[in-house]
A and B are shown apart, each in its own frame.
Chain A
Amino acid sequence: MIPSSKITPESIFLNRRRFIQGMAGVGLMSTPLIGHALQFKSNPEYKPALELTDPEHALHYNNFYELGTAKSDPFQNAEALHTDDWKVVVEGECTKPQTFDMDDLLRIDQEERIYRFRCVEGWSMVVPWIGFPLSKLLEKVQPTSKAHYVEFVSVLDRKNLPGQRFNLLDWPYKEGLRMDEAMHPLTLMATGLYGKELANQNGAPIRLIVPWKYGFKSSKSIVKIRLLEKQPISTWMEAAPREYGFYSNVNPNVSHPRWSQAKERPLGSFLKQKTLMFNGYAEEVAHLYKGMDLKKYF
């Protein structure tokens, strides 16, 4: 399925890694670009031979409206996001609601997975995330039989986050998944990227990654996870219900009201490539939506 031209020779891949590791060594540690190394194992099951996006692009071209709406804002304003003493509350329809700090979360086995990432705006990347399946976290709180949906609430810090000084969106940022989507083995809580801790502009210290959905479903800088009986309303659904639905699965056959989703432009590239159904994860996730009209449930 993957053309051989898209496979990165291991030597180049290793060189890139060495380059990134080397940068940490020459004193660039003070920039928000490079975080600390993480303890992790590469998961061979999620190691497709795809060409990785240049980390320069993945770290400088971001949608993170809390830090500003221009693509370069999140990197420039990265220091406005304070991640010390970060805690994640998991509550709602569960028997053991808990508050986790980052040490608790990093004690869960961390693994590296290479995923495709497709933004609703029509650009895409391939990046190595580090993290753990969300299911491992949810199992710890023992969801009840009423837990049909999961809501993710992101950071709220109006004093420091420049994008939250205006009510461009209804802060804090909220997203949601159906329980079976949340428990799916592909659904990842990411703590790192390219072998390092998440950079602030990428949603430090912990974010969601749902690779078969448009990028905005993958909430950044999460502080609260709620198990719910009823479907929550996400921030973008509230802002523009005609344009952003609850499911927001990557689907080349269903256009955004203002642009086509049939193609995407990989970061760093001039030319577009075809977008794959469920972003290339149809084999793993198509069964979740069997019998659903994907035009209606966009």
Chain B
Amino acid sequence: MSQALKITLLSLICSVPAISLIHRLFTDQLGANPVETLEHFSGDWTIYFLLLTLSISPLQYYFRPRWPIPMHLVRRVLGLSAFAYALIHLSVYFAFDMGLSFNDTLVDIAERPFILIGMLAFLILIPLAVTSTSGWQRRLKRRWSQLHKLIYLLTFLGILHYALLVKADLFQPLAYLSLFAALMLARQLKGLKRN
């Protein structure tokens, strides 16, 4: 199988949740609060793909698996998937919660810290998605990996955005935070070993 085909296949796998969501949308299976379902689903999958993206390097350090395509390409597809789900998330919010009003959105950002934090996370994600290509990677050289370290910050902000929204049950955001912490720790331990 050619590399291009493998990448296409991986991208298709990453879009399965989105396809299932579209299926539910058109078969009226989104439940009593369809907008909330769309938002929670796309938000959850944004975080899952961010965590998957962050797990590639630790996997490499500790297990050295045989990647079907070069590791950095796996990471690129996962990272771009996170961006795609975040874009769905933001679009649903903008269309159905804000009624496509920029003005209402600005007021919402100003008044609600969890919206501001979510927006910040998305804004940080944009340059990472744009510079994900090999061309940009070459052009930016060492600064590319410095820039892409922002994924640590934006993943944290994404989880914080979720934690600030819930009413009392923090179980799920705390589970995400624990996974994030574990992945960060795995990196630190490897760094220590190298020194």
Binding site for B on A (CB under 8 A): 54, 56-58, 60-61, 65, 69, 71-72, 121, 123, 168-169, 239-240, 255, 258-260, 265, 267-268, 270-272
B112 touches A259 (CB 8 A): yes
Compute how far the CA of A264 lies from the CA of B113 in the bound complex, rounded to whole angstroms: 20
A270 touches B35 (CB 8 A): yes
Minimum distance in angstroms from B114 CB to a CB of chain A = 6
Q: Count of A-B contacts with CB under 8 A?
A: 52
Closest to B38 in A: A270
Annotate B14-54 by CB proximity to A: 1 below 8 A, 0 otherwise: 00000000000000000111111000000000000000000
Compute how far the CA of A271 lies from the CA of B14 in the bound complex, rounded to whole angstroms: 29
- What are 23 A-to-B residue pairs whose CB atoms are below 8 Å? A57-B31, A60-B31, A60-B32, A65-B168, A69-B169, A69-B171, A71-B31, A71-B32, A72-B31, A121-B167, A123-B33, A168-B168, A169-B168, A240-B168, A258-B113, A258-B165, A259-B112, A268-B34, A270-B34, A271-B96, A272-B96, A272-B97, A272-B99
Contacts of B32 in A (CB 8 A): 54, 56-58, 60-61, 71, 123, 267-268
Compute how far the CA of A260 lies from the CA of B109 in the bound complex, rounded to whole angstroms: 12
> Given A61-B33, A270-B35 in contact, is the A260-B111 Cβ separation under 8 Å?
yes
Minimum distance in angstroms from B32 CB to a CB of chain A = 3
Closest to B33 in A: A123
Minimum distance in angstroms from B117 CB to a CB of chain A = 12
> Given A258-B114, A271-B96 in contact, is the A239-B33 Cβ separation under 8 Å?
no
Choose among B108, B114, B171 the residue that contacts A260 (Cβ–Cβ < 8 A): B108
Annotate B160-189 by CB proximity to A: 1 below 8 A, 0 otherwise: 000011011101000000000000000000
Compute how far the CA of A57 lies from the CA of B32 in the bound complex, rounded to whole angstroms: 5
Binding site for A on B (CB under 8 A): 31-36, 96-97, 99, 108, 111-114, 164-165, 167-169, 171
Compute how far the CA of A72 lies from the CA of B29 in the bound complex, rounded to whole angstroms: 13
A255 touches B33 (CB 8 A): no
A270 touches B168 (CB 8 A): no
Minimum distance in angstroms from B95 CB to a CB of chain A = 9
Compute how far the CA of A270 lies from the CA of B112 in the bound complex, rounded to whole angstroms: 22
Closest to A163 in B: B169
Minimum distance in angstroms from A84 CB to a CB of chain B = 29
Compute how far the CA of A240 lies from the CA of B170 in the bound complex, rounded to whole angstroms: 14
B96 touches A69 (CB 8 A): no
Contacts of B113 in A (CB 8 A): 258
Contacts of A259 in B (CB 8 A): 112
> Given A259-B112, A260-B108, A272-B99 in contact, is the A168-B169 Cβ separation under 8 Å?
yes
Minimum distance in angstroms from B86 CB to a CB of chain A = 20
Minimum distance in angstroms from A244 CB to a CB of chain B = 9
Compute how far the CA of A123 lies from the CA of B96 in the bound complex, rounded to whole angstroms: 13
A270 touches B96 (CB 8 A): yes
Compute how far the CA of A169 lies from the CA of B169 in the bound complex, rounded to whole angstroms: 9
Compute how far the CA of A121 lies from the CA of B164 in the bound complex, rounded to whole angstroms: 14
Closest to B35 in A: A270
Contacts of B33 in A (CB 8 A): 61, 71, 123, 265, 267
Minimum distance in angstroms from A28 CB to a CB of chain B = 19
Compute how far the CA of A271 lies from the CA of B101 in the bound complex, rounded to whole angstroms: 13
Compute how far the CA of A58 lies from the CA of B32 in the bound complex, rounded to whole angstroms: 8
Known: A56-B32, A258-B165, A259-B112; 9 extra A-B contacts, CB below 8 A, are: A57-B32, A123-B33, A168-B168, A239-B168, A267-B32, A268-B32, A271-B96, A271-B99, A272-B99
Chain A to chain B: the 8 pairs with minimum beta-carbon distance, closest first? A61-B32, A57-B32, A69-B169, A267-B32, A168-B168, A270-B96, A123-B33, A270-B35
Choose among B31, B112, B168, B171 the residue that contacts A258 (Cβ–Cβ < 8 A): B112
A255 touches B111 (CB 8 A): yes
Minimum distance in angstroms from B146 CB to a CB of chain A = 34
Contacts of B169 in A (CB 8 A): 65, 69, 168
Contacts of A255 in B (CB 8 A): 111
